[in-house]
Structure 1
């Protein structure tokens, strides 16, 4: 596997890169849209997707593109969280990822799109969900969107899922990679507070941000895929594994 990118997802994929020759994993590009990302950043990702798709077509390779299964895409009130949903993204980031998916699908190469929920693990960027919650807890004040829920997935489970899908030879499909368990952010903050030994004040923001992600398509791909069934308190396992490492990363940055 050729991995394009040097970030969190790219680093995680290196553990299985030797298992999937002929695959180009596009683990680079914009991970959120905010003031720090200018229009040319979005255009640069579009150019990258177009260029890699052309190369894959000429070399007979599979282009693996990572999109989002977050509320940015699946946050509409009537969205089921299935892959057929997400045609009306709620945010600029969701619209951007949807546009990149369309570029991939319209190309001449073989392709596979994996929509990722909130991955959690060491080495994440500070703005991502759990590192941001840990930093806020340590600062004594956490911003919480009231009635929001999020689907957390340990990065090691993400790698195993990706390995399973690629090993099954799936092509020209869009597949969610998630736990299928949507947990209230308030509950996530409760456990972060326990693990960080803090008692942060919560600042509530009134927004509509509930969503769920279906993994039924993932589980139907092969007998091996059916193992992806997670308990209701899976989020605790994810946080127990990741928060100590995030705390160490935070200490180093300080």
Structure 2
């Protein structure tokens, strides 16, 4: 993680230098760019212009037109790189954790942020609590999206119903697609939600237990939190994209 952060920081500094009058090496730019683009876990926070500018000549044509002064160029590049660098700087987190955290921090919901923080904090030390928090994360994301689009969901809906309502609003229900591959993938998302609900009911601390009860290990919590985080990120990204398309 530290090495990737250093490579990303080097890329930022190289671009700032090139944008402010210095002739940087195109080969080094291509190498650093490839390092960053080859990491799927940070794709959501890689600056867009890094993806679209395939060499320094293209970057120069972009930056000189968009920003006329050196100060403006520096500030733009710093701002664009900040999300990626912050994700990579998060100590103790996998890159995917940081990407989800960044997306959730942008999402204006204290319940969503609290559930994700609890899920991350408890994975190793409190697997049962982490599983409960993973489900709470998805419940909060679904409710927030449904509230945003003015869809009623009742007083105490279960997670599966909440997800189905949310998926329908976001056009993510398998029945809303004709391509078999999309139906299969989206059906898999539904199965993940149902599985998380079942895992929580079976293993988590949300229900009383008898004398002989299955006790979750940290690997169970890791699975639940990772699945919930990935699906929450997908729902938030889809909701955001639909809002942007409508404005």
TM-score by length of structure 1 reads 0.24
TM-score by length of structure 2 reads 0.25
Q: Which has the larger radius of gyration?
A: 2
Question: Counting helix residues as a fraction of each chain, which structure ranks higher?
Answer: 2
